[in-house]
Chains A and B, each alone.
Chain A
């Protein structure tokens, strides 16, 4: 089985995780062994095999698009760490 390596800096940025140097080294090593284990799947010929969608085969589950009772504004904000005037408050993302 061939060794596979993750670009941990790139992937942790995509995943929005701040990892310490120790975590990066540890995960890189551990996940490399998991990915090497996974690479055994290359042995299997999957040409022409239909990938699984819904496992028991349900398709196009639709309902009428009608308004219905939902969570109140108060309930929706109940677990927010910061809120203001009935809104979620977030840190600014643009610089002035």
Chain B
């Protein structure tokens, strides 16, 4: 029996293509590990063993018939439980949808199935994607595989953990204010928040519709680009998706970043934890040796990001969650957990008569100023690099008493969603055996460039090789 653990999409796909392993063997191996580790990690809410094995058998048959297949064919993956999956329970991590079974697939899920990817299951998350730690799951908290007394980050907790712990080879997530990048940083995996409108939101349970970005987790940057090759693009079911042509994201990924200008926004480095700063500095030194030019930039409205975000996001949450009335699907509104109730109240207040101009409209104007800061900076530099998180993975219950402290966990990530631009978390080393990450941020639709910079750094640093001890 081949060692199947720890494979990347690229490696697994090569073994499948050479017929050294079958998709069924590969998927069965991942399912059994996923189930075993779940007892300790709580990363999955639902397993879809039958669907995964059926798909794997279908792929093996196509392969025997020498059909041309996608690199994702036969690859075991997981979907965050906020992605609608036809016939597979989809809860959004909430008791309101505890027994909800969608009758259609999200566009992204449909595209992954069409490419032949095999769904191992649905992953745990903060209910409705509200949270930065995974502790707002209405079911149970997901644990960090590098230290199970600590949070994995949220809200796409289970997807980050499933990827890090080799329960799947990749997993989908959503990022409204950092919900992919923060758990990616806390779990030593690569996580992409694409440009708003690059990937369809159709069939994904809406959190804050003007901010929701649909991305994914992988072990390596190359794998991440492979998945985006499948998920990106215009969708007539989501009118906010861009008609701009999609790139081939793996093309040119090996091109040297030499000559590119990397901006460091001074606002993100003032008062930063010394050790995290040290890790980022080491990473920047690697990139400098590879030929990038480091420059200082300023994003003057940085400090207003979280406040702006906590007007826009709860306002849109209150509107999106108004549909849960217990009539057409799900249970009634008494089943909302504390955080969802808090955000519904806050958003209803900021949108209520007499307050709209002072809150939502004002915030949408400041959002313009935050976006303009980035546009101005990108006239000077090609990409911007910052830490993804101002702190290390924290202990359970460390921040649960005070919502504002929890909200500030996203201080480095929310502004990117407000600006609509793409950002890639790339692992950048450990502190006391806990992972840290940096985010590479670029202008609208510059995912290809982010992958090129990230890949170059990763090939030298190789942090993805440091797997959790499980």
Contact = CB atoms under 8 A, between A and B. Distances in A.
Interface of A: 6, 8, 11-12, 14-19, 23, 27, 30-31, 33-35, 37-38, 40-41, 44, 46, 49-52, 54-56, 58, 61, 63, 71, 75-76, 78-82, 88, 90
B352 A11 contact: yes
Given A17-B336, A34-B404, A58-B197, A44 B345 contact: no
Nearest to B312: A52
- Kindly name the residue among A52, A58, A78, A88 whose own CB sees the greatest number of chain B CB atoms within 10 A: A52
A16 B310 contact: no
A31 B338 CA distance: 12
A60 B329 CA distance: 31
Interface of B: 100-101, 103-104, 195-197, 210, 236, 239-240, 242, 301, 304, 306-308, 310-311, 318, 322, 325-331, 333-334, 336, 338, 341-342, 344-346, 348-349, 352, 359, 361-369, 371, 402-404, 407, 419-420, 444-445
A30 B339 CA distance: 11
B344 A17 contact: yes
A30 B100 CA distance: 31
Given A41-B308, A90-B327, A15 B236 contact: no
Nearest to B99: A79
Nearest to B341: A17
18 contacts: A8-B345, A11-B348, A17-B333, A30-B403, A38-B311, A41-B307, A41-B311, A41-B363, A44-B301, A46-B369, A49-B365, A51-B367, A52-B364, A56-B444, A61-B239, A63-B236, A81-B331, A88-B327
A18 B253 CA distance: 53
A88 B368 CA distance: 43
B345 A11 contact: yes
A18 B333 CA distance: 8
Contacts, number: 135
A34 B100 contact: no
A27 B337 CA distance: 12
B349 A55 contact: no
10 smallest CB-CB distances across A and B, nearest first, come from A55-B420, A51-B364, A79-B329, A46-B365, A15-B348, A61-B239, A75-B103, A49-B365, A52-B367, A38-B307
Contacts of B346: 6, 31, 34-35
A34 B329 CA distance: 32
A65 B336 CA distance: 37
A44 B445 CA distance: 29
Contacts of A71: 103-104
Given A11-B345, A27-B342, 18 more contacts: A11-B352, A12-B345, A15-B318, A15-B344, A27-B341, A30-B403, A31-B345, A34-B407, A37-B307, A38-B307, A40-B304, A41-B366, A49-B365, A56-B195, A56-B445, A58-B197, A79-B330, A88-B327
Given A17-B344, A31-B345, A33-B404, A40 B444 contact: no
Nearest to A77: B328
Contacts of B322: 15-16
A34 B365 contact: no
Contacts of B444: 56
Nearest to B329: A79
B110 to A, nearest CB: 15
